[in-house]
Amino acid sequence: MPAIKALIFDVFGTVVDWRGGVIRDVTQIAQARGADIDAARFADAWRSDYRPAMDLVRQGAMPWTKLDDLHRRTLDRLLEDSGLAGLGESERDWLNRCWHRLDPWPDVAEGIRRLKQDHVVAAFSNGNVSLLVGMAKRAGIPWDCIISAELFRHYKPDPEIYRGAVELLSLAPSEVMLVAAHNDDLCAAADEGLATAFVCRPGELGPSHLSNLTPAREYTCAPADLTDLAAMLGA
């Protein structure tokens, strides 16, 4: 294991259960409005527009747009054809912020606490800064810093965000480890010389989870979860 000084964590899926959190809040608002909504299907449809929406920005077809605003754009479209088409502005805003109210996986609190003792631990996400700050405050995740795509105006897996994170940390790429549950993210980090930890999160996509179950290439390590990673790093 190389000498790692900073750990940067992918957030959606790796640190927090986005699907469970979105289902919870869609269910709550549907029940309050007496609407008949398949909340799991709604959550999956919302997330399925995540990559295409960011790709519009990455390819220059849209100017820089915060993830909160990309989420809202998709939400408004999904609501049109749903039993929640009548939601007003404040309810839409509340629902859109469900992405700020996601719960961490059970191993996160102990894993981050241990890893933080001797390493810099940072959120490293396509989420905008205020989203990541709100999420961390609610969930009690004690990040040392927030490294968001918003700082570079480049979404993952653009190389600029990996290079930018290394530069902000004033470290060599090999001293920085990306912890993530997704092969595309890890491959882009490895291409920039970062260390990589693949954490499989089979619950991320619900019962139909079929992707990212195995490493696509040889990473620095493949811990079972964040407490296992802490043990591997002697924390």
Phi, psi (rounded to 5 degrees) for 229: -60, -40
Nearest approach, Cβ of residue 149 and its own copies (Å): 12
In the complex with its own copies, which residue's Cβ is closer, 90 or 170? 170
Nearest approach, Cβ of residue 188 and its own copies (Å): 21
In the complex with its own copies, which residue's Cβ is closer, 153 or 209? 153
In the complex with its own copies, which residue's Cβ is closer, 84 or 102? 102
Both tokens of 43, joined, read: 């959550």
CB neighbours of 128 closer than 8 A, spacing ≥ 6? 66, 67, 68, 148, 149, 150
In the complex with its own copies, which residue's Cβ is closer, 169 or 189? 169
- Contact of 31 with 10, CB cutoff 8 Å: no
Nearest approach, Cβ of residue 113 and its own copies (Å): 13
Residues at the interface with its own copies (CB under 8 A): 66, 68, 120, 128-130, 132-133, 136-137, 142-146, 150-151, 168-171
Nearest approach, Cβ of residue 168 and its own copies (Å): 4
- Contact of 177 with 7, CB cutoff 8 Å: yes
Type of residue found at 155:
Y
CA separation for the pair 18, 105 (Å, rounded): 10
